[in-house]
A = this chain, B = another copy of it.
């Protein structure tokens, strides 16, 4: 299991200079909000209040938050089936997300998309996608568009390491490299494609995949939000300078099952492995430790942040539960614009 990022402390320290305490606290708040959000999703599922399934982002919070914090509000992202964290980190509202998860008309997609299709153009979110690798074309196209329009925007394509199996990813990386498009391919390697360890289905070295197209690759400890943030900032700078695409491997772990119903996991991974990640590599603990260690926050501050985040999440659930379903007449609206 690879847990350290191949960056130097100096580089990171440089990049992090000038990052205010407030921003670290904001990241902490986002991360804890995502965690609380997913807890509630699980509850809603177990209480049979949520239709269908959901794929929890719990454990991976530092990845989405560290990356999105390094972006402008108008930068683009595409997300995945495991997308709640990406959407929230990019600026989605908790209440409208819950409403979507429950199929309510007040949700981001009027209840038509659900957990795997949250889209919010206002926050630059071009949509979660239930096709593995489905965002690759879209994110690359958004980068092309940004470049042609000269908007200075960058585009971030989130995917799990399972998407490395999809040929279209290589097709678009080739074009992104040829045309120097401002897109970051973010491979969140949480070690599993559903119920299969990635090493069983992934030949060679991950880093060699982008290298095949001359795309620069950086690898980062996805459990350490400071590392993720610092690395992404550097990468984004290079993109905005027109240096072409980048590939970011964010090494991380999902705490729960592939989806909410995936409870018996012993056949594909051990309880020990899960406990070890939670105990030693928890992104919230890592940031909290650093904040308190540096004297940037005390336990009280962090508790206060957590309380606030949990309150927001609770209110969001309330809102969503009370929200109305779409009118039957909605069913054939929005097929065509």
Contact = CB atoms under 8 A, between A and B. Distances in A.
Interface of A: 164-171, 173-175, 177-178, 200-205, 208-209, 211-215
Given A208-B208, A211-B204, A212-B209, A174 B178 contact: no
A175 B165 CA distance: 9
A308 B275 CA distance: 76
Given A177-B204, A211-B212, A167 B169 contact: yes
Nearest to A204: B214
Nearest to A168: B167
Contact of A203 (B200, B203, B214): B214
A202 B202 CA distance: 23
A313 to B, nearest CB: 39
Contacts of A203: 173-175, 177-178, 213-215
A201 B165 CA distance: 22
A164 B213 CA distance: 11
B167 A171 contact: yes
Contacts of A205: 214
Q: Which 10 A-B pairs have the closest CB atoms?
A: A167-B167, A204-B214, A177-B203, A212-B212, A170-B170, A208-B212, A203-B213, A204-B213, A167-B171, A178-B203
Contacts of A173: 203
Contacts of A213: 203-204, 208
Nearest to A205: B214
Contacts of A178: 200-203
A328 to B, nearest CB: 40
Contacts of A177: 203-204
A257 to B, nearest CB: 25
Nearest to A211: B208
A209 B174 CA distance: 11
Nearest to A206: B212
A205 to B, nearest CB: 7
Contacts of A211: 204, 208, 211-212
A247 B169 CA distance: 21
A214 B169 CA distance: 18
10 contacts: A165-B171, A166-B171, A167-B168, A167-B169, A170-B170, A173-B203, A203-B214, A208-B208, A209-B212, A212-B212
A215 B214 CA distance: 17
Nearest to A244: B203
